A and B are shown apart, each in its own frame.
Chain A
Amino acid sequence: MDDAEPAGATPGGATIEFERVSKHYDAAAMRRGAGGAVEDLSLTVPAGRICVLVGPSGCGKTTTLKMVNRLIEPSSGRILIDGADIADADVTALRRGIGYVIQQVGLFPHQTIAQNVGTVPRLLGWDKSRQERRSAELLALVGLEPGRYADRYPSQLSGGERQRVGVARALAADPPVMLMDEPFGAVDPIVRERLQNEFLRLQEDLAKTILFVTHDIDEAIKMGDLVVVMQQGGRIAQLGAPAELLAAPASDYVARFVGADRGLKRLSLYRVGDVVLEEAPLVRQDEQSEAVRRRALAAGDRFVLIVDDLARPLGWVDVEDLPAEGRIREDMADPMSPLLDRRDTLKDATSRLLDAEVGSGVVVDRAGRVLGLLTLAAVMDWMRDDRSREVPVDIAEAAAEAVVVAAEEHGEVPAGQP
């Protein structure tokens, strides 16, 4: 962490390793409202992955997170970032190299949005024009138009907008490691969903190493490459890829924590684009109606999908209703079944199909072009094959290395916890 000045915008993260890390609080600290204790935690977060710590309040997940940027110093054990012990690093340099996003955001109310985003670059001594360029770039990255937002103050933004600014601020100096503590916890469910999706999209390009804390198992499963279920005392109850956790909870505690609907939750792990799509029977507007009808009958298609010149769907038309003469026109199209993005989760996609009471939906890419059809039958097939699918090597290694509390130690779930 000697290199406080990060490179321009190189994607990539660093490995985070916890080696037998404990944090104990004395009685006085507990009275002051210290977080949960952590006991002998060993954990490796592979570079470029999102590792979610999930558990009931007081399980030590936030304590674990804050030990990485030394807002909390461990009582014992070591934390290494890319092999270097963080205890040896200069604490301000360490923190400037780690992005930090919290539920309350903690934007500086007296600074404009651009200044807020430029905080770490400013502390690192970047020149003014570079700071400004970076702020504008990041605002655009998180979906806030720089021209509209740069000169506003945090009080003039909605909760969701503020949270985006919080993410932009954390990314400003392109840190290899990000710490996120319930980052989408303070916004309403619709905004949360959107922020989660956008963040996952960003992470595809950024490939930061992210330690993410939440108490929401759905969020953990959605966001995590690696999910660590924690229990009271800062111990790991189970660690693994989300699919493993859902398919094979290691204990009653984990099973209860992931919930009875874990079958549905498994659907949220996969994206529409993962599933083999059926080819859609496309016809272009302006095609000869009669030719289309003959082609459809030959292929056994009762309905065909009208698309525009850029292959964007306009709507379905019943082959029986096609006129014998003339060309296909846009106004022949019936209202569409749900349009699915190939990045939608299977859970969302399935839910929308069920909702629209149709057996299949049109899947489009980012440009809105038709990729194919997703059918409920294809979803079923996909789930059936799920168990044989392989977990990425780095995730499997991390899971194998972790010290998980012995099964017999799993007591009752504390009262009032899910």
Chain B
Amino acid sequence: MIEIRWDWIAGHLDDVAEKTWQHLQLLVIPMLAGFAIAFALAVLALRRPGTIGPVTAVTGLLYTIPSLAAFAVLIPITGLSLMTAIIPLTTYTLLILYVNTVAGLRSVPAEVNEAADAMGYTAGSRLWHVQLPLAVPLIMAGVRVAAVTTIGLVTVAAIIGGNRFGGLGQFITEGLQTDFDTKIYLGAIGSVILAFVVDGVLVGVQRLLTPWSRARGREG
């Protein structure tokens, strides 16, 4: 029978808040960096479709590197700084964000792009005001998967991050080392709750960004 010591948790709320905050940083920074890179590459893909194959291959390769190994490899270079976690977490987001952004931008119907050109949109404003908004549903699908994946991977980073990084994952590693179940459950359940909350927020963001996709009346 598992005993959770609520009193211990109650006494360490500061710690919980701090580690949750770090978990969020390790989510948001890699996601933003990953999205910036993936978006730039996706825009390149629109102009030069020949780049899609190689870019998918490289981001796919990065995705296959075992996460623990990636963190370990970086320790000699970036030490025990947050960077050691941020770099691999970023590269893990690339594949899904890239593939979904390319799919999203390419999902814009040809006649919509043609109409935009014929109305006198410049290439840049067409990208921002027509293609990007219409790509949002597919991009957000990728962002949600990448976010939930990243939240999980942060806990893995804790294995080598010691007491420096790893967000809520640090509770898990500490709990395993000291054989203290409460910490293990706190880290595991906390990170699952975080994933649900973040996903819920992202769904909300998508709804705000795409009021048009819910407007369904009669068709044809």
Contact = CB atoms under 8 A, between A and B. Distances in A.
B130 A92 contact: no
Contact of A110 (B122, B134, B217, B218): B134
Contacts of B109: 104, 106
Given A71-B114, A102-B111, A106-B115, A93 B215 contact: no
B118 A95 contact: yes
Given A106-B109, A108-B130, A155-B212, A92 B121 contact: yes
B112 A152 contact: no
B190 interface: no
Given A155-B217, A156-B218, A71 B212 contact: no
A371 B125 CA distance: 54
Nearest to A4: B120
A111 interface: yes
Nearest to B209: A110
Contact of A102 (B115, B125, B134, B212): B115
**Contact size range, B:** 20 to 34
A153 interface: yes
A69 interface: yes
A167 to B, nearest CB: 13
A119 B117 CA distance: 11
B212 A109 contact: yes
A107 interface: yes
B119 interface: yes
B133 interface: yes
Interface string A97-122: 01010101111111100000001100
Contacts of B114: 71, 102, 106
A316 to B, nearest CB: 41
A120 B119 contact: yes
Interface in A292-346: none
A108 B112 contact: yes
Contacts of B210: 110
Interface centre among A96, A102, A108 (most CB of B within 10 A): A108
A100 B133 contact: no
Contacts of A417: none
Interface in B97-144: 109, 111-112, 114-122, 125, 130, 133-134
Contact of A95 (B111, B120, B130, B220): B120
A120 B120 contact: yes
A123 B121 contact: yes
A119 B116 CA distance: 9
Contacts of A100: 115, 118-119
B220 A109 contact: no
B14 interface: no
B219 interface: yes
A169 B119 CA distance: 9
Nearest to A66: B118
A169 B211 CA distance: 21
B216 interface: yes
Interface in A175-192: 179
Nearest to B113: A106
Contact of A111 (B118, B212, B218): B212
Given A96-B119, A106-B112, A157-B217, 16 more contacts: A92-B120, A96-B120, A102-B111, A102-B114, A102-B115, A104-B109, A105-B115, A106-B116, A110-B133, A110-B210, A111-B212, A120-B120, A152-B217, A153-B211, A158-B220, A159-B220
Those 7 A-B pairs whose CB atoms lie nearest each other, nearest first: A106-B115, A156-B217, A96-B120, A104-B111, A106-B111, A95-B120, A100-B118
Interface of A: 69, 71, 92-96, 98, 100, 102, 104-111, 119-120, 123, 152-153, 155-159, 169, 179
28 contacts: A92-B122, A100-B115, A100-B118, A102-B111, A102-B115, A106-B109, A106-B111, A106-B116, A107-B112, A107-B115, A108-B115, A108-B116, A109-B134, A109-B212, A110-B133, A110-B134, A110-B210, A110-B213, A111-B212, A119-B119, A120-B119, A123-B121, A123-B125, A152-B215, A155-B215, A155-B219, A159-B220, A179-B118
